[in-house]
Amino acid sequence: MNILCLDTSGGACSAAIARNDKIIAEQYTDNGLTHSATLMGLIDGCFKRSGLRPEQLDLVAVTNGPGSFTGLRIGMSTAKAFAQSCNCPIVQVGTLSALIANFSWLREGIVCAMIDARHARAFSCAVRQGKEILRPDTYSVAEIQAFLQQYSGEQILLTGDGSDAYGADIVAQLPGAQTAPAHLRYVRASALAEIACRQMQQGNTFSAYDAALEYFVASQAERNMKK
């Protein structure tokens, strides 16, 4: 099964092609340019390096939120275009799940994913020994810290750009807590492959018409319309 994996949920932009859960090509950039200016070039690079053609795709996997509103829309619209033209389904991968997937090998301790939602808030979830203990939602940093306090002394890894913004304060208050290494702290498209295989086997796929984003909060434009 050939899978095109896309992530445009944050500041970085990446694409990967996998054969089942094995990555055969990946492109990643965090150069400050808009995802609309870089994503197709990354995808083209993956096809060239993998030796595959778009019509050979069996599945498209894409992060569907939470994260940057504009970035997520670029990724999803691109995923839908490929799925429609190649007549293949889409697997939606939550951004928090993609962050935690970087630590699927970890058998002990807690992984807490945090995506900066600004104003001392974060989109967050946490798993302990592979089991969810904090459901994905929007929390204040104080709420996240209070929740993790009950596990003080255990190994706690903070990951995501929210750990860049707020991790130091949490680590200072929680023995055993630390921010994850930089190379594991952000979403990479390659992290979607294993999740996509599992979702495909379980029948959790969407058509190009049905796939949708999950923002967790309303965009600024939507909030302005309600005023």
How do residues 14-54 score in pLDDT, each as one tens digit? 999 999 999 999 999 998 889 999 999 999 999 999 999 99
Instruction: State the total domains in the chain.
Output: 2
CATH of the domain at 112: 3.30.420.40
Same domain assignment for residues 47 and 79? yes
State the Cα–Cα distance between residues 141 and 84, nearest whole angstrom.
40
Same domain assignment for residues 34 and 60? yes
170-181 pLDDT tens trace: 999 999 999 999
The answer to whether position 77 is within a domain reads: yes
Same domain assignment for residues 153 and 176? yes
At 218, phi and psi to the nearest 5? -70, 145
Number of CB atoms found within 10 A of residue 83's CB: 24
123-147 pLDDT tens trace: 999 999 989 999 999 999 999 999 9
151-161 pLDDT tens trace: 999 999 999 99
The answer to whether position 12 is within a domain reads: yes
Same domain assignment for residues 139 and 127? yes
The answer to whether position 100 is within a domain reads: no
- The pTM for the full model equals 0.94
Same domain assignment for residues 11 and 88? yes
State the Cα–Cα distance between residues 213 and 65, nearest whole angstrom.
6
**Domain residue limits at 202:** 2-95+188-226
Same domain assignment for residues 131 and 180? yes
For residue 150, pLDDT beyond 70 = yes
Same domain assignment for residues 175 and 205? no
Question: pLDDT averaged over the chain?
Answer: 94
Cis-peptide into 66, omega within 30 deg: yes
Same domain assignment for residues 193 and 180? no
Task: Quickly tell me which residue has 């750990």 as its tokens.
Answer: 163
State the Cα–Cα distance between residues 69 and 64, nearest whole angstrom.
10
For residue 222, pLDDT beyond 80 = no
For residue 225, pLDDT beyond 60 = no
Is residue 57 within 8 A of residue 88, CB to CB? The reply is yes
What share of the chain has pLDDT > 70, as a percent?
96
Enumerate long-range contacts of 116-119, CB under 8 Å, 24 or more apart. 116/160, 116/161, 116/162, 116/164, 116/165, 116/166, 117/66, 117/162, 117/216, 117/217
